[in-house]
Chain A
Amino acid sequence: MAISRRKFLGCITAALGTTTGAGALAHAASNKDFTGYPDSFGVLHDSTKCIGCRKCEQACNEVNSLAKPGKPFDDLTVLDQKRRTGEASYTIVNKFGNPPVFAKTQCNHCQEPACASACFVKALKKDPSGAVTYDESLCVGCRYCMVACPFNIPAYTYNDPLTPKVTKCTMCLPRIKEGKLPGCVEICPREALIFGKRDKLVTLAWEKIDRNPDHYFKHLYGEHEMGGTSWLYLSQVPFTKIGMREDLGVTSAPKLTSGALGAVPIIVGLWPVLLTGVYAISKRKEKIAEEEQESAVQNAKDLASQEMKDQLLKLSKKMTKEKETAIANGVKKALVEVEEAAKKAEQAAADAAEDATNPETTSDDSEKEEE
């Protein structure tokens, strides 16, 4: 038993060792790093120019025909509370610090989106245009995309019992296809939003930083975050000060999970072979044990039958001996009897001879003796 358990543990550690190692290998071998579609679009948000007028929120609401919020868009007191994107607000402007700085939030349309790699029905996809699109007709509503999104962007219409869906900024892909600008970009009165090819925007952004190093914090947010995003950000203050995480790292979401995914073919290929092997070994051990048992039983049987035979033989010998003695005894007895009878006969003859004078009675007597 102890051996089996040790073997069991051994197998598992061996297999896991292989799989984790192989997972990393599979990734290294399969991926030239994907750096986004060439010529894809993006938007550069220069937060230093944003005045928090909420016009983009309004435009977004209109072009996407979303439900009207309780407070009107020109009510700027809304900015006093930190908000996030929701089912009726694909974009949000937040106010930070004093003197206030503003920053707009919406889907960042990641180059290698966590949400899309997490979606198990491919309802979310990275379009060559740069937009990350959502297909409601496929979505099951597992909300793993929301779990996965590092920017906490997608929202879900939880209160819709029959047709709940994920909602997020579409980058206004329908408008882009018509040759129009995204709603929010078009309306922005301060050119805080610039639409264009992502490559160009990256160059432009760095030119801005270089030209005005005192005005800008020296970082282009979105250039590399989580593998890069189509939406890029410039700021005057460190990005954590305008509610953006600087600890996300540059590893894209698919790379984070590729190790675990790479283990799949290994397990599928290796486990059955290993397990059948273990089965064969345990079966063989069992068989050997069985054979040993069988031969032992056979031996015992053989031994027993031999003994039995011996005993039988002895018994039969004994029996014959007894028989013989019995016969001998019988014979002896008979002989003795015969002798006795003979003696008696002699006696009788002698008596007869003596009783010659009375021959009839003697003859009768002798007859009686014979019987």
Chain B
Amino acid sequence: MVAQDQPMEKSSILTPFNVITSIILFVGVILMFLRFTRGIGAVTNLDNNNPWGLWIGFDLLCGVALAAGGYVTSSACYVFGLKRFHSAVRPAILTAFLGYALVVFALNFDVGRPWKLPYPIFVSQGTSSLLFEVGLCVFLYLTVLFVEATPAAFEWLGFKKLRTWVVRLTLVLTIFGVVLSTLHQSSLGALFMIVPSKLHPLWYSGYLHVYFFISSIFAGMSMVIFEGSMAHRWLHDKMDATHLAQSDGVVLGFGKAASFMMMGYVGIKIIGIAVDNNWHYLSTGWGAWFLLELIGFVLFPAILYGMGAREKNLTFIRIASLWTVLGIILNRLNISVIAFNWQLPSDLRYVPSFMEVGTTIFIITLGVVVYKFIVTRMPILYEHPDYKEEH
């Protein structure tokens, strides 16, 4: 493998992928420089009425939701004993780890004094805040994910003893991961429970934490499917027979499960409207937007998932996964940016600046580059020959 790779990489340094990523990374570094020398105000459209923008709405909220594949897959495999998901665990854990690492990286741009980010954990604990819970859980979960991801690196480096030691902790780590994920996934939603006066009633609910938790599960599943199909297209040569053989099963299994969860989610969202008696809002413009999100980006992909699972049509499921991911992004942006401050006159509303969008693209690109670096080197999509058949 290694011998084959080297000449290939040499001849292909000027691929479109490499050119585009280097441009993005270059621009990103400039934006980063601007942000830290001229201040947040110089690069963002944030203001006193709109303290949270794209960097929180997308980088934090969507990032965390879409990185839920880690705990969903590892718990399916190790806790619920669905061994056929085994080959999906490593890529999912890796994506989750990278996802969370990037979320924390992105937070450094957004908060005013990033060097104080350890403060809520080590200096002054604001336990009454849901953001404290989010911060603590993300910090702990990032550590858990890091440990969970190390076996691949240890195999790559040949540290057999360390690897065995970590692998023995799998179950404990998985359960710990599920607890932490449940807490911070739901707390991210609960962050907005403090602002009934700012978030549109159709999105505001006393069940926000439940919505966020449930949606994180199918977000994670969809991301595993979506990421899997991307990897199949671009990194097919890195996959071993087990991975290839199991991957269809993973797609079908998660597709079916996601379909069920999404139907349930639509159900509890409707219950939420009924509980708060918000029906009359549905006939407004905001209502149409809300229905677009709930029907167009949850119910429809759920149906497509169901059809794909019944007819064993992988293409349907792959399309549904991308659709669902977009739906999750729409939902998180609605809650944090679009339906937030809905009562403000339009000239006071927030629209992200190009530099904010640029920074977000920079961070995503960084993630893709690091992912590619790792999967082309470490045993992620295949099993290391020395450790086959022992799990």
> Which A residues fall within an 8 A CB radius of B?
1, 4-5, 7-9, 12, 16, 20, 84-87, 114, 116-123, 138-144, 146-148, 150, 152, 154-156, 158-165, 245, 247-249, 253-254, 256-257, 259-261, 263-264, 267-268, 271-272, 275-276, 278-279, 282-283, 285-286
Contact = CB atoms under 8 A, between A and B. Distances in A.
A139 B112 contact: yes
Given A150-B197, A164-B39, A279-B79, A156 B111 contact: no
Given A5-B257, A139-B116, A283-B81, A146 B197 contact: no
A353 to B, nearest CB: 90
B44 A158 contact: yes
10 contacts: A119-B129, A121-B125, A142-B110, A152-B48, A159-B42, A248-B197, A257-B130, A260-B209, A264-B133, A283-B81
Contacts of B131: 118, 120, 142, 144
Interface string B13-45: 000000000000000000000011111111010
Given A138-B123, A140-B111, A141-B112, A85 B48 contact: yes
Nearest to B110: A142
B327 interface: no
Name which of A143, A150, A154, A247 has the most chain B CB atoms within 10 A of its CB: A143
Interface stretch (B158-166, B175-183, B291-299, B312-320): B175-183
A20 B210 CA distance: 8
B183 A164 contact: no
Given A120-B135, A257-B190, A140 B39 contact: no
Name which of B123, B187, B195 has the most chain A CB atoms within 10 A of its CB: B195
A16 B183 CA distance: 11
Given A140-B111, A147-B195, 12 more contacts: A16-B210, A117-B128, A119-B129, A121-B116, A138-B124, A143-B112, A144-B129, A158-B44, A161-B37, A257-B194, A260-B186, A271-B179
Given A158-B47, A267-B182, A275 B79 contact: yes
Contacts of B38: 159, 161
A165 B41 CA distance: 12
Contacts of B40: 158-159, 164
Nearest to B131: A120
B183 A268 contact: yes
Interface in B105-140: 110-114, 116-117, 119-120, 123-126, 128-133, 135
A257 to B, nearest CB: 5
Interface string B167-210: 00001000110110011001100110111111000000011111
Contacts of A254: 128
Of all A-B residue pairs in the complex, the 4 with the closest CB atoms, nearest first, are A141-B112, A282-B81, A158-B41, A260-B190
B352 interface: no
Name which of A152, A155, A272, A285 has the most chain B CB atoms within 10 A of its CB: A152
A20 B191 CA distance: 16
B182 A140 contact: no
Nearest to B135: A120
A257 B176 CA distance: 24
Contacts of B387: none
A287 to B, nearest CB: 10
Contacts of B195: 147-148, 150
Nearest to B115: A140
Given A121-B119, A271-B178, A285 B81 contact: yes
A292 to B, nearest CB: 16
Given A148-B195, A257-B193, A155 B48 contact: yes
Contacts of A259: 193, 206, 209
B253 interface: yes
B81 A161 contact: no
A140 B175 contact: no
A159 B39 CA distance: 5
B207 A20 contact: yes
Given A121-B119, A140-B120, A268 B111 contact: no
Contacts of A141: 111-113, 116
A161 B260 CA distance: 48
Contacts of B367: none
B287 interface: no
B234 interface: no
A263 B41 CA distance: 37
A321 to B, nearest CB: 48
Given A8-B80, A282-B81, A152 B39 contact: no
A84 B193 CA distance: 24
B342 to A, nearest CB: 13
B116 A117 contact: no
B78 interface: yes
B6 interface: no
Nearest to B40: A158
B117 A159 contact: no
A282 B171 CA distance: 13
A241 B171 CA distance: 60
A144 B179 contact: no
B222 interface: no
A119 B126 contact: yes
B264 interface: yes
Nearest to B206: A259
Contacts of B75: 275
A3 B119 CA distance: 45
